[in-house]
Amino acid sequence: MSDSSEHPAHAHPRLKQGKGRMEAISDGVFAVAMTLLVLDLAIPFTKGTRGDLLGALVHEWPGYLGFLVSFATIGAIWLGHNTMTEYLERVDPVLLRLNLLLLFFVCLLPFATGLLAEFMKAEGAERVASVSYGILLLLCSVLLSAVWRYAVRAKLVNPDLADDEISLLTTRLTPGLGGYVLLILLGVFFPKISVFGYLLVAVFLLLPFRPTLRRGDRRRR
């Protein structure tokens, strides 16, 4: 009788899970969340719309701003997630659950965007909408970083990655945390300015990232 301890991979097949299914459900959630954002773009249909359609469209600017910020933010999170999964060798049950938690908060972004569009011009309520929106953006950013950091600590990443490459990716996948905290605090006093700040953070995160990194095989040359 063979000792099961000599074959840990056969005794625990889930430890060798591939990343394909995690990538598939993640891409689906990101795509649906980005698509749902357009539902918050209301058509300004009132009695005066026919006479001043341009003015009616301008009146709906909070909805357009919210859509732009959320679309850019989800796009930036997806880009970071795509970069992360590219360097993963496999996944484990804990990583899958952390990833599901990230997707949970991504799914809430269309709801938060709707709140922002509806109450951005309401005195008092705009502060709650702006701060709530910022907290959700912060949670998404924190969880993206947590997924990657756990993967590194659990040695789920490609073993050929050099230490400087891991450090650079960790920095890149920890985006805007301090900026989001400052903007959330700013939103208590100046909610409209904070929303434009969220947009600037999202645009910054969308900038192309092409680091010069060394693979393990290059390091051995």
Domain boundaries, the chain: 15-207
Q: Tell me, what amino acid is at 163?
A: D
* Tokens (6 digits) for 112: 């938060």
Smallest CA-to-CA distance from 75 within 46, 113, 38, 33 is with 33
* Tokens (6 digits) for 99: 């990833």
End-to-end CA distance of the chain: 44
Q: Identify whether the C-beta of residue 62 lies closer than 8 Å to the C-beta of residue 120.
A: yes
Supply the pLDDT for residue 106.
95
- Residues in the chain predicted with pLDDT less than 70, given as ranges, are 1-16, 42-52, 122, 173, 175-176, 209-221
Supply the pLDDT for residue 99.
95
Q: Identify whether the C-beta of residue 95 lies closer than 8 Å to the C-beta of residue 150.
A: yes
Supply the pLDDT for residue 175.
59
* Tokens (6 digits) for 97: 């659950």
Supply the pLDDT for residue 7.
43
Supply the pLDDT for residue 49.
58
CA distance 101 to 212: 31
Supply the pLDDT for residue 109.
92
Q: Identify whether the C-beta of residue 177 lies closer than 8 Å to the C-beta of residue 141.
A: yes
Supply the pLDDT for residue 46.
60
> Could you read off the pLDDT of 77-100 as tens digits, one per residue?
998 899 888 888 889 999 999 999
